[in-house]
Homo-oligomer: A and B are copies of this chain.
Amino acid sequence: MENEFIQLEGGLDTVEGFFTLGVHCGIKKVNNDLAIIFADTPAAAAAVFTTNRVCAAPVEVTRQNLKKNGHFQLVVINSGVANACTGQRGLEDAITMSEIAAREFGLSDPSLVAVASTGVIGDFLPLDKIEFGIKKVKEFYPQTHSSRETARAIMTTDTFMKERAISFQLYGQEVHLAGIAKGSGMIRPNMATMLGFLLTDAAVYPDSLQKALKTAVDVSFNRVTVDGDTSTNDMVLLMANGKCGKTRIDENHPDFPRFQAALTFVCQELAKDIARDGEGATKFINIMVRGAQSENDARTIAFTVAESPLVKTAFFGQDPNWGRIMAAIGRSGIAVIPDKIYISINDNPFVEDGMGTKKMTRNELQSVIQNKDLEIVIELNQGNAEFNVWTCDLSFDYVKINSHYS
């Protein structure tokens, strides 16, 4: 399936009918901190939001606006301040942010604007700086656009910007799909301090777009965990302006699975980049649990192992301490049968029948885990269900980054 997609340079700039740019407006000392995505015409929209009960003001405003219209024409995003735990004033500020953007870009209806914020919790939005930033972007419109500057503007502790773009055939026509994302610490399933913005020029009905996004997020962003923490501000937004496509498709259209696959592919690539860029990460780790009695069992074990600080520090230290993986499996609450467990890393046996393998020396095990990319397969031999999670190791730098953040 992957082969049907042509990967492109240029990120969001490859999608027709959208202007995007990021600038520095002064919320952060340096680096871009404000981004705009502007569509020529209102675009069908879909979104998935944080499940954190402490949910930031921009999440509430964007959710309401989406419910009202099913379409967005403008997205305004800031980094540096999360506008979370800011009460009624926070809600008013998020609405004001959408109104400023609507005014500057000539939209009469501010509910066609999506707003998103990421950064420190508890501070109020510096609306003067945000207004300055929006006006700055407007000055460049429409000549100077840049997916890259946009992707940079949504970063917090990310060390590299994340963007992907593909083209593929849909209803006999070439269409484009692209996305940017931010992640780093506090990443966890159910959309933890991660932002993702996806654009396509394909023509899809909003309801079907929402279904496709939900499906894609479940097997991509919701499979990433860096530290088990989840945030107040997460949002993945997808806009489809239909520039390439005479008629809109829905989920019954024969080409819908192809659209779904393309969206899933882009989301998974961005999700893996997020795990790869986990705060202080030195390794990218895919944990695959197989042979479980249910997908839920496999999921529980995968996340318990992926979020175990002892497992994660052992990988950072290149210590082939498979006992910690066994201990994490054992405390997951799932009724595993220890003697049936097999564990391999990059296709090398580590655990057989619940015990350390006799096929490899300690030195050999150690050389396996010196790889930067690790594929850990946990075979439970109890059933046919499986689930995988992407994560990273836990390093000194994680502690360094997170002990002095706010």
Are A320 and B406 CB-contacts (below 8 A) given A227-B309, A232-B326?
yes
**A398, B331: Cβ atoms closer than 8 Å:** no
Q: Is the CB of B402 within 8 A of A330?
A: no
Complex Cα spacing A321 to B356, Å:
42
Within 8 A of B (CB), among A314-358: 314, 316-324, 326-332, 334-336, 338-339, 351, 353-356
Q: Which of A53, A192, A317, A326 has the most CB of B within 10 A?
A: A53
What's the nearest-Cβ distance from chain B to residue A218, in Å?
A: 18
Q: Does A121 contact B (CB under 8 A)?
A: yes
Q: Does A87 contact B (CB under 8 A)?
A: yes
Closest residue on chain B to residue A82 by CB atoms: B323
Q: Are A120 and B323 in contact (CB under 8 A)?
A: yes
Is A51 engaged at the interface, CB distance under 8 Å to the other chain? yes
A170-198 vs B, CB cutoff 8 Å, 1 = contact: the mask equals 00000000000000011010101000000
Complex CA gap A317/B231 in Å reads 20
Q: Are A230 and B331 in contact (CB under 8 A)?
A: yes
Contact size class for A? 35 or more
Contacts of A324 in B (CB 8 A): 121, 229
Q: Is the pair A339, B87 in contact by a Cβ cutoff of 8 Å?
A: yes
A400 at the interface (CB under 8 A from B): yes
Q: Does A20 contact B (CB under 8 A)?
A: no
Q: Whole-angstrom distance from the CB of A79 to the nearest CB of chain B?
A: 15
CB < 8 Å neighbour of A406 from B229, B319, B336, B354: B319
Supposing A122-B355, A322-B122, A405-B314 touch, asked if A52 and B399 sit within 8 A by C-beta, the answer is no
User: With A and B bound together, what is the CA distance between A396 and B54 in angstroms?
Assistant: 29
Binding site for B on A (CB under 8 A): 51-55, 82, 84-87, 120-123, 185-186, 188, 190, 192, 227-232, 307-310, 313-314, 316-324, 326-332, 334-336, 338-339, 351, 353-356, 394-396, 398-400, 402-406
